[in-house]
Chains A and B, each alone.
Chain A
Amino acid sequence: MSRTPNGSTPLASGGFQRAGREVIARLGPVFALVLLGAFLSFATPHFFKIDNMANITRQSAITAILAVGQTMVILTGGIDLSVGAMAAISASAAAVLMTQRFTVLGLVVGPLNFELGLLVALVIGGLCGLANGLIITRGRIPDFIATLGTLTIFQGVALIITSGLPVPSHLTATELKGYLPTQMIWMGAGDVLGVPVAGIIAVVIVALGWLLLRYLALGRAIFAVGGNREAARVSGINIDRTKVAVYFLSGIIAAIAGFVLAGRMNSSNALMAGEENLRSVAAVVIGGTNLFGGEGGVVGSLIGAFIMGELGNGLNLLNVSAFWQRIVQGFVIILVVVFDQWRRRRLTTSR
C-alpha cells in the first residue's frame, strides 16, 4: 500500500503508475486489434479496403452479439456453451413459420410476417435460456455440463423443426415462400450509409449490455455473484435468480444473433453457428473478462470478437489454408489468456 509519510495522498507516484498499468491492461485488446490490423494492412493489399472491412464487420457482428450474453454469463462465474445452438433453433423455427403455412387449433396461420417471426424467435431464445438457468440452479449441476447437454438438445429439436434442411429450401414441397422476409436479410446483409446493419446491431446490443452492467441492480448482482458468491449471498443477493436472469438474457440475445446470421446467409439451418458456441467464449476471454467471473465487461468482448474476425479474414487473404487457420486461432486464444493471467498476477502482487 502506497502510504506516504504524511499519510495524505493515496495516489502518490506509485498510484499513478498503477493507474497507468490498469489503463494499459484495459486497453490491451484495443492495442492488439490495431496492431493486428496494421500488420495485415502491410502484409496484404486487400485487407484495408472498405469492402473487406464491411465483410469483417458482418462476420464479427454475430460473434459480438452472442458474446454480450456470454459475457454476462461468464461474469457470474458460469459459461453458456449453447449460445450458437439457441441462435440456430430460434432463427430456424422463426424461418419455418415465416415461409410455411401451418394449423393451430384448426386455424390456418401463416406465413408469419417479419415482426411476428422475430417475436417468436425471441420467445424461443428466451425459453431456451430460461431452461438453461433453471436446470443449473434447480438441478444444482455445473453450468458447463448443463449447457453442454442443452446444446445438443437444442440442435436436435432444431433438426426436427427443419427436417434437417435449410429453410427456405427448394427441396420441400410444403414451401410457400422461397425467401426470408427482406427485413431479416437487411439485418444480416444490409447497409446504412455504407455501414453494415449487422455491425450497428452489435454495437447497440453491446451498448445496452454496458448500460445494464453499469447502472442496473442486476448488473451489480452479476459482478457480486461472480466475484464472491458467498459474499453476495450474505449481502442478500438472490444468486439463483441472478443466474437465471443472465442465461435468459443470453437466450434472447442469441435469438437476435440468429436472425442476423440467417439474414446474411439468406437461409437458416439447424446446425448453423455451431462454431459460435466456443467462439463467443474466446471473444469474451480475449476481451479481458476473467473466465472465473467477477471482472470484465462487454466492450472488451466486442473488441475480442473483432480480433477473432480480423484474424480469420487476414489469414484467408494471406492464403493460409483453413487447416492452418484453426491452429493459428487456437494458439492466439491460448497466448491471450496466458498473457491475461500474467498481467492479473502482476496487478495483484505489485501493490
Chain B
Amino acid sequence: MSNETLRARDPEPILRMEQIDKRFPGVHALDHVNFDLLPGEVHVLLGENGAGKSTLMKVLSGSIQSDSGRISILGKEVHNLSPERARELGIGMVYQELSLIPALSVAENIFLGKPHKSRLGGIDWRAMYREAQRSLEDLGLSINPKTEVRRLDVAEQQLTEIARVLTAQPRIVLLDEPTSALSDAERERLFTLIGLLRQRGVGIVYISHRLSEVPLIGQRVTVMRDGKVIGSLAVKDADEPTLVNMMVGRRLTEQFPKEAHAPGRRIFRVESISLKASLHDISLEVREGEILGIFGLMGAGQPELTRAIFGLERRSAGRIWVDEQEVQIHKPSDAIRHGIGLLTRDRRMSLVPALPIPPNVTLANVSQLKMHQRVKLRSEARTASDSVKNLSIHPPSLSRAVMFLSGGNQQKVVVARWLCSHARVLIFDEPTRGIDVGAKAEVFVLMNQLTAGRAGIIMISSEMPEILAMADRILVMRGGRITAEFAAGEATQEKLLRAAS
C-alpha cells in the first residue's frame, strides 16, 4: 500500500488510544482519555502545564504504564509497551527535556545504542558520521557530526535530538514542545521538515502551549485540561478564543483569588543589572503591596535574574536599592540581611530534608548569627508552631523531617522561613511548578496575604494565565533583556507571547 492510497482512501487511524487512565498519588493525571492520529496528519495536543499532555505521550512511548485503557497501532492492539517495544512499533518521541549525553559527539548521540558495526565487530565510524551528516542535512543543519554535544547551543541540541528520533524512521512522531528553545528561523526549518514527514504518511503528535502555532502547523487540535480531553476539533474551526476557553475553562476567575492592594512606596529597585553573557542591562522596581510579574519563555534569562539579584551569582554590572538605600549584595546572606527572600523554583533546593520544620523555618535567621552564638531553641519552637498554625501546614508535627511533607506543605515551610526572616521583597520563582491545583490556589492566597502585609513580590513565571491573573505589572524577558512592560489590565496572552518570542 503506497502512502498516497493510505492517505486518500484509508481513514483508518495509525494510532488509537481509548479510555487511557492513569493516577499518580494525589493526582488523576489521565482521566479516561481518548485520542487518535491519522497518517499524514499533524495533531496538535494543547493544554496548560500539568494538563496531562506529556503523561499521555509518555504512556504512548512506553516510559510509563497506564492503569487501564487500550492502545492500537495500525488497527492492532498492543500491550505492555516499553520504550524498546514502542520504538519497534515505529513510535519516535522527542522529549521536552533534552536526553542527549553531553560528552559524546553528535553522531554518537544520534546512533546511541545502535552504532554502525564494521565487519570486524568494531564500530564503523565512517559510516556513522556519514549517516549522521545526512540526517542532520535533512533538518537543514550544518553541524559537524563529530562535535561534542555540550558544545552545541540549546537549539542545536534540540534539533540533534529530533534527528536522532528520525533516523529510526518512525511512523508516529511525538514532539513535546519542540520549539521552546528554537529561534524563528529554526522553527521554520522544523515546520518544513514536519511537512516533509507528512507527505511520507507519518503521523505527528505535536504538543504545545503556544496557541499561535496551531494554525501554522496542525490539521486537528485536541485540548486537554486536568487530565481530561476537553474536545477535539479541526484546526480550521478552531479560533483562538475558543481554544483559550477550552484550555483554561472558567478557572481564570476561580483559580486566582487575586486581591488588589494599592501599591505604596517603592521598596526595591534594580538598575542595569548584567550578568556575563546571559543578562543585559535589566532595571526594575517593586512597590509595597505589589506583585511584579516577570514572564519569559524558556531560556530568556529569568533564573539568571533571580540568581543575580539574590547574590548567588556574580554580577558584571548593576546596582540595587532597598527602601531607597543602595545596598551591596554579593552573597545570599547580604540579600537576606536587607530583607529579600527567594522561593527557589524547586522547593528541594530550599529545604534540608532530614531536619524537621523548626530548623528549616529559622534557617535564614540562624545563618545571620555568628558561629559561636546560641540558637534559642524555645523561641524557635514557638516561631515554628506559629508558622504551622498561620499557614496551616499539615501535619503540624514539629519533630518530623520535612521530607515527609507534601509538596504544597513544603512550599509553605519555605514561605514561613522568609516571613520569619522579615523579608519584605520576595522573589517567587515559578511558585506553582510541580504542585497540584489545590495547592496552587493556596500559594496564590498566600501571595495575597503577603502583599496585604505590605510586602512586594517579584513573581517569575512561564505560566501566562497565572501571571496575568496575579501580577499588578508584567515585565517580559527575551534573550536576557526586558522587552516589554504591561499594566495588569492591558496585558493579554498574545501580547505577552509576542513580546517574549
**Chain A interface (Cβ < 8 Å from any Cβ of B):** 1-3, 7, 10-11, 15, 214-221, 223-224, 227-228, 230-238, 241-242, 245, 290, 294-295, 348, 351
Contact = CB atoms under 8 A, between A and B. Distances in A.
B133 interface: no
Contacts of A220: 359, 363, 366, 375
A323 B374 CA distance: 48
B372 A223 contact: no
30 contacts: A1-B406, A10-B397, A11-B397, A214-B377, A216-B372, A216-B374, A217-B366, A217-B370, A217-B371, A217-B373, A217-B375, A220-B375, A221-B371, A223-B355, A223-B359, A224-B359, A227-B353, A231-B349, A232-B363, A234-B312, A234-B332, A234-B342, A235-B336, A235-B417, A237-B333, A238-B333, A238-B367, A241-B371, A348-B403, A351-B404
A96 B368 CA distance: 43
B175 interface: no
At the interface, is chain A mostly helix, strand, loop or mixed? helix
Interface in B215-242: none
B415 to A, nearest CB: 13
B351 A228 contact: yes
Given A216-B371, A231-B349, A236 B406 contact: no
B143 interface: no
B260 interface: no
Given A10-B396, A228-B351, A236-B335, 5 more contacts: A1-B405, A219-B375, A234-B350, A236-B367, A294-B352
A-B pairs with the 6 shortest C-beta distances? A236-B333, A236-B367, A10-B395, A227-B352, A217-B369, A218-B371
A127 to B, nearest CB: 19
Nearest to A348: B403
Contacts of A235: 332, 336, 350, 363-364, 367, 417
B394 interface: yes
Interface in B395-417: 395-397, 400, 403-406, 417
B344 interface: yes
Nearest to A10: B395
Nearest to B333: A236
Nearest to B311: A236
Contacts of A234: 310, 312, 332, 342, 344, 349-350
B352 A233 contact: no
A16 B333 CA distance: 39
Contacts of B366: 217, 220-221, 237
A215 B332 CA distance: 23
B354 interface: yes
Nearest to B377: A215
Interface string B463-501: 000000000000000000000000000000000000000
A235 B368 CA distance: 9
A245 B371 CA distance: 9
A215 B363 contact: no
A231 B350 CA distance: 4
A230 B417 contact: no
B442 to A, nearest CB: 16
A228 B353 contact: yes
A226 B335 CA distance: 23
Nearest to A4: B395
Contacts of B352: 223-224, 227-228, 231-232, 294
A219 B371 CA distance: 8
Contacts of B372: 216-218
A3 B363 CA distance: 27
Given A11-B397, A216-B375, A233 B355 contact: no
Nearest to A351: B404
Nearest to A245: B371
Contacts of A218: 371-372
Contacts of A290: 354
Nearest to A222: B371
A218 B363 CA distance: 12
A224 B355 contact: yes
Nearest to A214: B377
B220 to A, nearest CB: 42
Contacts of B369: 217
Contacts of A231: 348-352, 363
B395 A236 contact: no
Most buried by B among A15, A217, A238, A295: A217
Given A10-B396, A216-B375, A238-B333, A233 B353 contact: no
Contacts of B312: 233-234
Nearest to A19: B399
Contacts of B364: 235-236
A271 B405 CA distance: 50
Most buried by B among A224, A235, A241: A235
B332 A233 contact: yes
Nearest to B349: A230
Interface in B321-356: 331-333, 335-337, 342, 344, 348-355
A223 B337 CA distance: 22
A195 B421 CA distance: 48
A3 B26 CA distance: 14
Interface in B278-330: 310, 312
B353 A1 contact: no
B373 A216 contact: yes
Contacts of A242: 371
A235 B417 CA distance: 9
A106 B199 CA distance: 96
Interface in B50-64: none
Nearest to A2: B395
